Chains A and B, each alone.
Chain A
Amino acid sequence: MPIGQTSSVMALRDPDIRLMLRVRDDDDAAFAELVERFQNRLVAVMHHLVGSMHEAEDLAQEVFLRVYRIRKKYRPKAKFSTWLFTIANNLALNALRNRKRRPVLPLELRESSQDDGRPADHAAQDLGETPSAGLRHRELAEVIRFALDSLNERQRVAIVLNKFEDMNYCEIADVMGLSTKAVKSLLSRARTSLREALRGYIYMDGEPPPPAAEEDES
């Protein structure tokens, strides 16, 4: 849709856009509402991306502040959340890349009680528990966290948007500034990596694996 005539039409359809237009017009109450409305989603997404609550909140806050700073430039053209997550994507990717450049221990970025950032199965055995019997949600979450962390940054963003923001390939492409095809292959690689990393855990709910599962890979 051409931009000129769309603003009011779109705004009617998307209450978030309506809200953002009020923010654009210096309505601070609207901005407060916007923060209120999106804080849970943004913090959750950031947490999935960076793994630390503290950093996730800092990043989410930075997203909101950036929205505020550039509010005058806001032109409604897609779903508001796409615009918001485009900003979030840029900030998160920068943060993840900076982190890579900085010589920090992964530990610093984690809040889990673990010391080495690895799944804890052998340590569990040291303490007399077997991973298959005593593996709890938290440990499983650590394993999954580790698998997610082993993806590259862009794969991680694509996965998190797809999985937790329920975005389709086209929306992810918009947010990440890629083609739909590129998103498709990004997600494919990410999800095959996840499958490899989590192979040992996917039949832990007691259901037997299908017969051909052990030779499913060529």
Chain B
Amino acid sequence: MIDDEPEPDPVDAELIAYLDGELEASEARSLEDRLDADPKLRARAEGLKRSYDLLDFLPKPEPSPTFATRTMDKIPASGAKPAVSDSSATTTTPAPHSSLALTQVQSRSEFPWAVAAGLFVAVGLALGVGYLGTAALRTFVFPPAEPREPSTDSLTVAEVRVIANLPLYAAADDFEYLTQLASPEFFGDELDAPPWLLPSQPLEVEKPADPELQTLFRAYRELPAERQEKIRTMDQRIHALEPPKRDRMLRLLETYAAWLHRLPESDRKDVLTATSSNKRLEAVREALLKQWIAALPAVHRAKLKGLPAEDKAQLLAKLRADDEKQRTEWTVARIQWESIRTNKQPWPFTDESMRKSVIEYVRAVYKPDDPRRARLSTLGPDGGDAARLKDALDRADKGEWALLGKAVYDFSRKYEMLPEPAKGAPIVDYSDLSPWPGIVKVMEKRPKLNRAVEQAVGKWPDFALAVHAEIGNKPFATFNTLKLGPCQMDEFKDDFRRGFGELRRKLNEAEISALKTLEGTWPNYPRELVRLAKVHDVSLPGVMPPGPPNLWEKTYNSPRQPMRPGG
């Protein structure tokens, strides 16, 4: 009750009721007369109004994209339908959620992955001749229809998506498992293959025809409730990603499924029957390694055979590193061959002005000639990336441009670049931090932290990013407003702003408004600009290599050579 609270000031109460339009007309008029006559009273009303108006500054967050589906998914668990066991046709049609809930009660399989393995056989067909192509296989994979058919009519769009994707989802534990699989160690390289190698169709699975959906739905209901929940969550998380990332995940699922399908039976069994997500990853790694070794030249294979385990591992590591290097060389050779064949330099070195701008870009971004500010690593037996660039520049000087193109492309992925400020020098040293004595103080207190930043001294944006990373979770209340670099349009250089002008025309409203919220924060704002530029195939001057990012990707990305099919 509110009796325990003090009475409000009657004048304020009246003013507030007036401001809220809650006074009777006559009361309002009389108050207005008094307001006219009394500046003090006016100021008081003004203060009340303005302080209330300030609440409009509060952010108005929107629910996350998965909120609605998550809520719908909770319905069965909430026990809304107490007696689901009587799901016979006598009661009202069971809601889809309730019918899913049913399976929770009757989850009979102790080995969800055995079901997954069964489902899995269907995947190859799903990819090849459509879902569950043959009737024979259908009866093999799934038990014959039960007399009581669950209806797929009342499934929501989200549920249909889960069920239609089931053959792909069946072989993955959860979203985290997929994230692991998407790393270069597993299938990552293939997912980032140049665009012409990627399927051109959108990857979303179409809704299968009714009988197929029915079959999948039944299979889905066969899964234990816990597994169903995991699959649903995985589906939601995939579809909550931004479109490019979502498509990459869906591509991963297809790649992984196709790979599994081609795997020899025994290896596939190892993967599918592993008892935990980590063990499954281990099994995938093993199988990939086997394939890789199988694809090695016979000499190496013979050598590996006779070695004790430790030496074997060492040799394998070396072979893998060589493999990596060879891939780069192979790409460069391919590009060079192309340029010899067509008697033209590889893109973007086809004309003089582009050659010039790439070299200018390289000098501006990596500063190879300035020992203090040079960014490229000198570590490594061959002198590291710095030596690689030097070599590439020398070769370019002699008219061979492919090596430089490949180096520029690789570095652009390895070394993050952010726009430099239009006015003044960028922050690259401790002395540049003097406007923020608080940071300097913290860094002095933490020598360990200094070491991390130390290596980046002189380099833009590496130093500022290192400071940011180190101080980020320290007790600086206004850290978010701490700007170590330009993060507002008028702080960028003119050519960068021109590049942004081009990008802006390609942005949709959601992207523009999301971008607006980041304006003023560093490095998030410039980072987001770079990300969007990549998505929309715009090159931002001074930050990204000149020319459309897609063309760089297409020309210089080296796809992993096709793995040798396992069976």
Q: Give A contacts to B, CB under 8 Å.
A: 26, 28-29, 31-32, 35-36, 39-40, 43-44, 47-48, 53, 56-57, 60-61, 64-65, 68-69, 113-116, 118, 120, 123-124, 126-129, 134, 136-141, 144-145, 148, 152, 154, 159, 162-164, 168-169, 178, 182, 184-189, 191-192, 194-195, 197-199, 201-203, 209-213, 215-217
Contacts and interface: CB of A to CB of B under 8 A. Distances in A.
Given A35-B71, A65-B78, A163-B55, A115 B477 contact: yes
14 contacts: A39-B68, A40-B63, A57-B67, A69-B80, A127-B436, A163-B52, A164-B60, A188-B16, A189-B8, A198-B54, A199-B51, A209-B43, A213-B47, A216-B47
Interface string B63-98: 110011011101100111000000000001101110
A57 B154 contact: no
Contact of B61 (A31, A43, A124, A192): A43
Nearest to B13: A188
Contacts of A40: 62-63
B5 A128 contact: no
A48 B51 CA distance: 16
A203 B13 CA distance: 22
B462 to A, nearest CB: 22
B429 to A, nearest CB: 17
B63 A192 contact: no
B60 to A, nearest CB: 5
A114 B477 CA distance: 5
Contacts of A123: 476-478
A23 B156 CA distance: 15
Nearest to B93: A26
B22 interface: yes
Contacts of A53: 61, 64
Contacts of B206: none
A93 to B, nearest CB: 13
A68 B352 CA distance: 69
Contacts of A139: 478, 481
Nearest to B158: A32
A158 to B, nearest CB: 10
A48 B58 contact: yes
B301 interface: no
Contacts of B438: 126-127
Nearest to A189: B8
Nearest to B472: A113
Given A194-B52, A216-B44, A113 B479 contact: yes
A136 B61 contact: no
Contact of B96 (A28, A48, A69): A28
List of 4 A-B pairs having minimum Cβ-Cβ separation, nearest first: A188-B8, A123-B477, A120-B477, A188-B13
Contact of B5 (A145, A189, A211): A189
Contacts of B437: 126-128
B489 to A, nearest CB: 16
B482 A137 contact: no
Contact of A36 (B5, B13, B52, B68): B68
Given A138-B481, A192-B48, A144 B57 contact: yes
Contacts of B57: 137, 140-141, 144
Interface string B503-516: 00000000000000
Contacts of A127: 436-439, 476, 478, 482
Given A203-B50, A216-B43, 8 more contacts: A47-B61, A65-B71, A118-B477, A128-B435, A145-B58, A164-B55, A188-B17, A215-B40
B146 interface: no
Contacts of B54: 140, 144, 198, 201-202
Contacts of A154: 2
Nearest to B46: A210
A43 B20 contact: no
A211 B51 contact: no
Contacts of A195: 47-48, 51
Interface residues on B, range: 35 or more
A5 to B, nearest CB: 26
A33 to B, nearest CB: 10
Contacts of B154: 28-29
Contacts of A28: 72, 75, 95-97, 154, 156
B562 interface: no
A77 B475 CA distance: 52
A35 B20 CA distance: 30
B22 to A, nearest CB: 5
Interface string B4-29: 01111100110011001110000000
Contacts of A44: 60-62
Given A191-B48, A194-B52, A57 B478 contact: no
B84 to A, nearest CB: 13
Best-surrounded residue of B8, B17, B436 (most CB of chain A within 10 A): B8
B39 interface: yes
Contact of A61 (B74, B79, B95): B74
A198 B52 CA distance: 9
Contact of B481 (A31, A126, A129, A164): A129
B405 interface: no
A136 B67 contact: no
A194 B54 CA distance: 10
Contacts of B47: 195, 199, 202, 213, 216
B78 A69 contact: yes
Nearest to A140: B57
B355 interface: no
Given A43-B67, A189-B8, A68 B80 contact: yes
A212 B8 contact: no
Contacts of B475: 115
B327 interface: no
A199 B498 CA distance: 42
B477 to A, nearest CB: 4
Contact of B2 (A31, A137, A140, A186): A186
